[in-house]
Chain A
Amino acid sequence: MIRDYYNRNALDEKLRGAPRPPGANHLAIGHRQAVSMVLAVAGEEDSVEKLLSSATEFTGRFSAPGEWLVVSENDTPEGLQRRLDALCSDKAHIVDQSEARVLFRISGPSMRRILAKGIGLDLDPNVFATGASANALCGHIAVNLARTGEDAFELLTPRSFAESLFDNLMTMGREYDLTAAFAA
């Protein structure tokens, strides 16, 4: 049953039909990436952070003190779990979130203006640089926002909020002709 959730994206209904060609501002919905939550054991926060930042196969996103979300494009959920277990099993608890989170990957020249309509964060590259990440509210929906490039961001949101966040983002981006499709 878990497998069904993993293989069925929460936005299948929303993105039914032939995809429009991606425009300059584009929202790509991630398919089948592995997401894990890493919770450091009390007192081990700093060493877990060091271990996560030393890894090259995946990126750790700051969520709260001693808590990170790890996203991997190439691993299966089980593979990522094994990899993280090997990396920091005695220092952190690792909880698979692959079925529970939906990844929104948005990029384009107007991205900062689009996100400014819903997120109360300063997205100036000097303040929120490439590689930075934070939990925030987008409208009224809790997301984890990460900057993956100058004009590229990724949002992770709980599965049950994915359709609402999708509608929000499309409304926020209507002025800038935001297009949406599943990631290739």
Chain B
Amino acid sequence: MIFSRTLKCVALLTACVVIVSGCRTPSTDLTDEGLLGFDDIDAVDGGGIPLGARFEDGIPITDVHFENVLFGYDSFVVESSQAAKVEAVADYMRRSPEVRLVVEGHCDERGSRDYNMSLGESRALAVRAYLVGLGVDGGRVQTRSFGEEQPQDSGHTPEAYRLNRRGVFALFR
């Protein structure tokens, strides 16, 4: 923290010097990316648990439903407010060893379609990682991103967007 505060001071000073000096074009120079130091990303969540082979021939279970996990804008973090929904699924999966699950990841319509495919997949994988953390065998859980292609609510309101940023549980036997 102290280190960080010192750095902040240095940073502010630098910024002031730059402003005062009125300065030359600083760089959008492409070699300056080193400042962002993105090699040290902390691995905290979500991924890294390889997917097992696909199962495509299951029979959909239509009489058991679980609530969708909702996500924040441009986020694939399973919020604590959503945890109970995932835990309910984990309980069910532990009690029903024959059941397999596809977690479907969806996005609202904002952002590019291609990026939203990846974001939707990250959401599905985050839910899957949570399930695995609760003791569900990862081999029973597949993911499928629909990006922004299949909104639950086709409106363009904040409420529609909130409902569309979701993880859906599709169960198979």
A pairs with B:
no
List chain B positions with a Cβ less than 8 A from chain A. none
